[in-house]
Structure 1
Amino acid sequence: MTPDTAERPQMSVEDFEELVGKAPRELRNRLEFLGGRLCIRHGPLDVEEFEELAEAAPETVRLEYINGKVVVKAMPDGNHGEIFVWLQEQCMQHRPDLRVYPESGVKAEAYRKGRARTDGALAPKGHFKGRTEWSAADGILMAVEITSHDRDTDQRDRIDKPVGYAGADIPVYLLIDRDHNTIVVFSEPKDGRYQQSDSYTWGATVPLPAPVSVTLDTEELKDYAD
């Protein structure tokens, strides 16, 4: 990786201090900052405590609750944003009835015990109107993640997110992997796992199965290779 794309810590000490300052009083003493990571003392938070913490977090700190752990999601860089816009345009060309919503909070995992912030959520226009920060996954046709160059992207995006989104019965999970210049299409969720997983190199034609039913021309992604 070049210096601009080198692996980054979860968060800065300044962001951690701001998070502690805004966190509910009963949670402040449980937050630690070790090795560039946010850590929770005295056992994990439950999902209700997490939601309180996430609501109080500053704009520069994006929190998720994955596999019972609080995770800090890296802020997107320029190429990340360009890839998201590319995907929006591709989907709109084929499915003008749908929208790719950015930064959508989703109740993921089995029994909706996880809280994930998708980079994108493909759903019918107006789907999120009137919903709270953490929305049920019902009606979302595809969850999208675009990897960032942080130390936790492997565990989060390639391992935990497929389980979380399959557990919420989201029909398709699209992983745009910037480390490997690939697109992985997960589909057919059953019993908390996607039964199908297909990988394509950037530049390939990528079919997204029903109910998405979109074919992606990924040639432009080569312009965003880090």
Structure 2
Amino acid sequence: MTVMAERTSRMTVEEFERLASTAPETVTLEFIDGRIGEKAVPDGDHETIIFWLLRQCMQSRSELDLHTSQGLKVGSYRKGRARPDGSLAPVAHFAGQGEWAEPDGVLMTVEVTSYDSDTDRRDRREKPAAYAAADIPVYLLIDRDRCQVVVHTNPDPHTSRYRDLHTASLGEWVELPEPVGISLDTEALKKYVR
């Protein structure tokens, strides 16, 4: 059994939360695996993909909301803080929870890769580990660099890994299994990659 060692950080979660709360609105900070990271400012195609997914979710599952700015407590022992591009949860699930919510009840997190040097480490390695450790059932990665959609399922919180991955090329149908239960025709996403 592989267990990811938690990175030792000189900063506590509480110190990070204070820092993040004072950051200007143009900066989005995350604290994953003991490392502070700045989330890239989304470009127009990135936002278009998120709104496309929002519409798909609303049409298929009107009892769910895709939140695009809610921070989550993630990672081993919930000592990380991530702001996914999307968090799918029941309507009003995050009401009253504040800036950094517990991930319990989140059905899926979503990330869309950005064209920056940190995307491999952040979106393909650290985020899946943090979301699996938080026991979020589905992690959807829309990978613009590789023109793929990767569906991570069956999280193992003890190893911080998803046991099952399904990769599809943009243009293919993708099944988001229960508890999400949505089918996506990703043909439209081909227009929003370089």
Tell me which interval the TM-score lies in, with the shorter structure as reference length.
Answer: over 0.9
Q: Is residue 126 of structure 1 aligned with residue 109 of structure 2?
A: no
Per-residue CA distance 1:45-64 (angstroms, 9 max, x = gap): 11111011000100111000
Q: Is residue 79 of structure 1 aligned with residue 79 of structure 2?
A: no
The aligned counterpart of 1:198 is 166
Q: 1:216 aligns with which of 171, 178, 184?
A: 184
**4+ long deviations beyond 3 Å:** none
Matching residue's letter, 1:116? A
Q: 2:55 aligns with which of 89, 94, 101?
A: 89
Q: Is residue 153 of structure 1 aligned with residue 122 of structure 2?
A: no
The aligned counterpart of 2:4 is none
Matching residue's letter, 1:127? H
Q: Is residue 167 of structure 1 aligned with residue 133 of structure 2?
A: yes
How many Å apart are 1:99 and its aligned residue? 1.0
Map 1:1-226 → 2, pairs under 5 A: 44-190=10-156, 191=158, 192-226=160-194
User: Secondary structure at the residue paired with 1:198?
Assistant: strand
TM-score by length of 2: 0.93
* Paired residues, number: 184
Matching residue's letter, 2:119? T
Structure 2 spans left out of the alignment, 5+ residues = 1-8
TM-score by length of 1: 0.80
Percent identity for Structure 1 against Structure 2? 54
Matching residue's letter, 1:98? L
Q: What is the root-mean-square deviation in Å for CA atoms of aligned residues? A: 0.9
Per-residue CA distance 1:94-137 (angstroms, 9 max, x = gap): 11111111022000012111100100000111111111100000
User: Secondary structure at the residue paired with 1:166?
Assistant: helix
Residue 44 of structure 1 contacts residue 69 of structure 1 at CA under 8 Å; is this kept in 2? no
Q: Whose radius of gyration is greater, 1 or 2? A: 1
Residue 140 of structure 1 contacts residue 170 of structure 1 at CA under 8 Å; is this kept in 2? yes
